[in-house]
Amino acid sequence: MFETWNDNLKIGVAKIDQQHQKLFNKVGTLLEKCTEQNELRQRSTIEELIDFLIDYFSKHFADEEKIQRIINYPNYEHHKEIHNNFKEKLVAIKKDFVEKNKTLKIIISLNHEILKLFSQHIKEEDKNIGDYITLIKNEQWQQMEEMISDIQTKK
């Protein structure tokens, strides 16, 4: 069995959470398609799904990086590097599947690896983005609270 979308994967930023959920579901569909019978019919569907993932992951990472630039996220460069490695892995899977004609068994295990890596990435890296946003909010609120308490003492 593989991990499906669950609340532990939410980072608290709606736009990112929605995209993560969509990606999780698509990787799940891909894994299901890989394990279905009738190999000939599947290969084109699987290729389409891999193409979708390459495209959507790339869009998602770009959005996530945009959000990080907006909030001046301190770990931006490192995070971007992880995204790039991830994209390269997906392209390698596609290449293996199409050019080297790798068996579905190998593709399935690679996809499991992708899903595991993605889940780890969300829990270990992307969650820090959510935490950083909370930190900014708290700091802003603290400043406001100080201003508010200043008004009170002037009275």
Within residues 65-124, the interface with Fe ion by CB under 5 A covers: none
Closest CA to 9 of 125, 119, 128, 133: 119
The window from 28-36, 61-69, 98-106, 138-146 that contacts Fe ion (CB under 5 A) reads 61-69
Q: Compare residues 98 and 117 and give the one whose CB is closer to Fe ion.
A: 117
Q: Give the integer Cα–Cα distance in Å for 117 and 81.
A: 14
Nearest position to Fe ion, beta carbon:
126
Smallest gap from Cβ 60 to Fe ion, in A, equals 8
Q: Is 126 in the site for Fe ion (CB under 5 A)?
A: yes
Q: Which amino acid is it at 81?
A: E
The window from 41-49, 59-67, 89-97, 137-145 that contacts Fe ion (CB under 5 A) reads 59-67
Smallest gap from Cβ 102 to Fe ion, in A, equals 27
- Cβ atoms within 10 Å of 52's Cβ, excluding its own: 14
Q: Compare residues 80 and 102 and give the one whose CB is closer to Fe ion.
A: 80
Smallest gap from Cβ 100 to Fe ion, in A, equals 29
Query: What would the two tokens of residue 97 be?
Result: 């599947």
**DSSP character for 8?**
G
Q: Compare residues 2 and 86 and give the one whose CB is closer to Fe ion.
A: 86
**DSSP character for 124?**
I
Cα-Cα-Cα-Cα dihedral of 76, 78, 97, 28, to 10°?
A: -60
Residue 76 CB burial class (10 angstroms; 0-12, 13-18, ≥19): middle
Interface ranges with Fe ion (CB under 5 A) = 64, 126
